[in-house]
Amino acid sequence: MIVQIATLCDSAADYGGKLCVMGSFDTLCAREFPVVHPQCSLALRFTFDHHEAGRHGFSVRCLDPEGNEALPPFDPVVDVTFPSEFVPFVTRNLVLNLQRVKFERPGIYAWEVRHHNAVVMRIPLRVTLFDESRSATGPAG
């Protein structure tokens, strides 16, 4: 299995096998804490070879700066089948749409994706206090 794409974004969708991602980001700025982010998506795209056909369970966790779970875990399952022996690989998209994600304090959070109890991807998210003096430098605050 190969992870082709793993990103936190404003929105994502699977349209007939195509992964559509809008607004990939790695930083959230807040004026005060705790802060609730209204909506975002975690978008993942995997490639599987023939010997990997079958059901694949994943574990997705959002970890706070101390490594504790910041949200309830997600445990999605992906079915991998091949239409014929002549297809060399298949891709599967996994989109987790998240509503009202609460961050208690600033720091580096992480989305950890596990497969067979091994971390296959770790997506960092910097949650920071908005600084008016740096507002002209872009979304990183």
pLDDT band at 24 (very low <50, low <70, confident <90, very high): very high
Strands (E), 1-141: 2-15, 18-24, 27-30, 35-49, 54-63, 77-80, 89-103, 107-115, 118-129
Which pLDDT belongs to residue 134?
A: 61
CB 123 within 8 A of CB 110: yes
pLDDT digits 0-9 by tens, 40-52: 999 999 999 999 9
pLDDT digits 0-9 by tens, 76-124: 999 999 999 899 999 999 999 999 999 999 999 999 999 999 999 999 9
Q: What domains are defined for the chain?
A: 2-131 (2.60.40.1930)
Which pLDDT belongs to residue 100?
A: 95
Q: pTM score, two decimals?
A: 0.89
pLDDT band at 131 (very low <50, low <70, confident <90, very high): confident
